[in-house]
Structure 1
Amino acid sequence: MTAAVPGTELVPVSIEAEIAALARRHRAAGGVGLQVLNLIGGKAENLLERLPDSVKNRLESSTAKALELSLKAASGSRRAVPDQKGWLNTALATAMGAAGGAGGLPTAMAELPVTVTVLLRAIQGIAAEYGFDPDMPEIRRECLAVFASAGPLATDDGADLGFLATRVTLTGATVHGLIGKVAPRLATAMGQKLAAQTIPVLGAAAGAATNYAYTSYYQEMAHVQFGLLKLSQQTGRPRAELVAALQKQIG
């Protein structure tokens, strides 16, 4: 027996249960970001104004470079160090954020590529959890595509689902080309994180809080990404149809 999802094809009840679980993960992803904004006493759109122009001007190129280095480091480390539990990834990133924020902008900038590596490694671990090989080119692209979501401080719920809908245009992209596509979105998210870490007095606390939020967020979005991919493979349903069902569930 099937149950209709408004605006989509008929979706079996078993699929609806999976979609509902992914929707809960999606809602959980953004919740921590609000706590961070309350901590720093500002709005996400105002954070980037705190950064010097020299930093803002090279943020996108720095982020793209960090992604290039992180992809190699994260993939290489999987051969030596097993994938960790989500809570351990979050704890590690939180500690790094505190250290990065303690020294202001210089240490926060130095910490950025390390944090991106931890995030990417966590995303790869989740891909493996769903039975995918993170070393396969198509799964590498899927892992990078998670960074095209909006980020934990974004207020537009539609924006953090946009990366799922753009899969059709990204499947043929090389890894380098995909980095060029996702770097602008990730640069905005990382810029907000850097700005929060430079707030006087709150530097270390804001650094820990933002890294906690970012790690929690991207891990949850990775579950959404690979959960949909796995569900599509198991049911034979086009992923675009499942994304539409997820959007209806969230909306």
Structure 2
Amino acid sequence: MMADILPPVSDPAILGQLDSLAKRHRAAGGVVMQVIGYIGGSAEGLLGKLPTPVRNGLDGATERALSGAMTAAERSRGIVSDRPDWMNRTLTTAMGAAGGVGGLGSSLAELPFTVTMLLRAIQGIAAEHGFDPASEEVRLECLRVFASAGPLEDDDGMDLSFLAARATITGPSLKSLIAKVAPRLSIVLGQKLAAQAAPVLGAVAGAAVNYAFTSYYQEIARVHFGLKRLARDTGTDEGVLREELVARIAK
């Protein structure tokens, strides 16, 4: 028996919201690329500037940072209320400046704190869209935002991991997803480390990179949870909305 083919979206109001989400996604990486241009070099060449032991250890360090960030971000929700986007950018910018002062060594020490702040910002955006960050499903969705195409990748809207069909995750789901996200995120974080460890610029580069990365992931989180809210509020199949959104991002 053939699977039912769902009709395309035709409601002008829904299509208008998808256009807004697509525009937000296309603009998300612009600030990051401006920062990289300011520092000099290219996104592709940044990882090559890191020492070999650091590059080789990025996957493991990223997985540990994500695991710790999930616990720390969740605990902090009971102590500190969600902050507006500008405040999250301010805090991570300050962290980047502190990390950039001492070059690569201090940047590595700053990395877990920045990952926690980014995850906490994503959780706050999930809550803003009416989703419970304490639930297992939403915790997974927050991690999927990290699995999206990184801010230094020219994906042209097509390599959108967070928009891909939902994968079945068995066993300890959170741990499984962290293991899947870490290798991809490690590339992004490696580029961040190399950029903010640029000689001479130091703290300025660290602050600028963290500001840009925070802006990027906040925007991607708004696209991600905006799509899910649109599906929930309109009763439209999320997969159909996802396909429409990918088509609009790619234009």
Answer yes or no: is the 8 Å Cα contact 1:150–1:159 preserved in 2: no
Cα–Cα, structure 1 residues 18 and 173, in superposed 2: closer, same or farther, change >3 Å? farther
1:155 aligns with 2:154: yes
1:35 corresponds to which residue?
34
Supply the distance in 2 between the matched residues of 1:193 and 1:85 (Cα, whole angstroms): 23
2:68 corresponds to which residue?
69
Cα–Cα, structure 1 residues 90 and 160, in superposed 2: closer, same or farther, change >3 Å? farther
1:20 aligns with 2:22: no
1:144, distance to aligned residue in structure 2 (A): 0.6
Q: Give the letter aligned to residue 151 of structure 2.
A: P
Gaps of 5+ in 1: 1-7
Cα–Cα, structure 1 residues 173 and 19, in superposed 2: closer, same or farther, change >3 Å? farther
1:215 aligns with 2:222: no
1:104 aligns with 2:71: no
Give 3-state SS (helix, strand or coil) of 1:153's partner.
coil
Within 5 A, what are the aligned runs for 1:79-158?
79-158=78-157
Supply the distance in 1 between the matched residues of 2:170 and 2:155 (Cα, whole angstroms): 25
Q: Give the letter aligned to residue 18 of structure 1.
A: Q
Answer yes or no: is the 8 Å Cα contact 1:98–1:204 preserved in 2: yes
1:206 corresponds to which residue?
205
Cα–Cα, structure 1 residues 24 and 213, in superposed 2: closer, same or farther, change >3 Å? same
1:60 corresponds to which residue?
59
1:158, distance to aligned residue in structure 2 (A): 3.3
Cα–Cα, structure 1 residues 112 and 43, in superposed 2: closer, same or farther, change >3 Å? same
Cα–Cα, structure 1 residues 146 and 160, in superposed 2: closer, same or farther, change >3 Å? farther
Supply the distance in 1 between the matched residues of 2:173 and 2:136 (Cα, whole angstroms): 9
1:157, distance to aligned residue in structure 2 (A): 2.5
Supply the distance in 2 between the matched residues of 1:10 and 1:166 (Cα, whole angstroms): 18
1:27, distance to aligned residue in structure 2 (A): 1.7
Q: Normalised by the size of structure 2, how large is the TM-score?
A: 0.93
* CA deviation vs aligned residue, 1:67-102 (integer Å, no higher than 9, x gap): 000000000000000000001001110111111011
Supply the distance in 2 between the matched residues of 1:99 and 1:166 (Cα, whole angstroms): 39
Within 5 A, what are the aligned runs for 1:158-197?
158=157, 161-170=160-169, 174-197=173-196
Moved more, 237-246 or 79-88: 237-246
Supply the distance in 2 between the matched residues of 1:172 and 1:30 (Cα, whole angstroms): 34
2:3 corresponds to which residue?
none
Supply the distance in 1 between the matched residues of 2:146 and 2:194 (Cα, whole angstroms): 19
Supply the distance in 2 between the matched residues of 1:245 and 1:159 (Cα, whole angstroms): 12
Moved more, 63-72 or 235-244: 235-244
Q: Give the letter aligned to residue 235 of structure 2.
A: G
Whichever structure has more helix as a proportion of its residues is: 1
Q: Give the letter aligned to residue 50 of structure 1.
A: K
1:106, distance to aligned residue in structure 2 (A): 0.7
Answer yes or no: is the 8 Å Cα contact 1:138–1:171 preserved in 2: no
Answer yes or no: is the 8 Å Cα contact 2:165–2:239 preserved in 1: no
Gaps of 5+ in 2: 1-6
Moved more, 178-187 or 10-19: 10-19
Answer yes or no: is the 8 Å Cα contact 1:228–1:243 preserved in 2: yes
RMSD value over aligned CA atoms?
A: 1.5
How much identity, in percent, do the aligned residues show? 57
Matched pairs, number = 244
Q: Give the letter aligned to residue 206 of structure 1.
A: A
1:10, distance to aligned residue in structure 2 (A): 3.2
Q: Normalised by the size of structure 1, how large is the TM-score?
A: 0.93
2:233 corresponds to which residue?
234
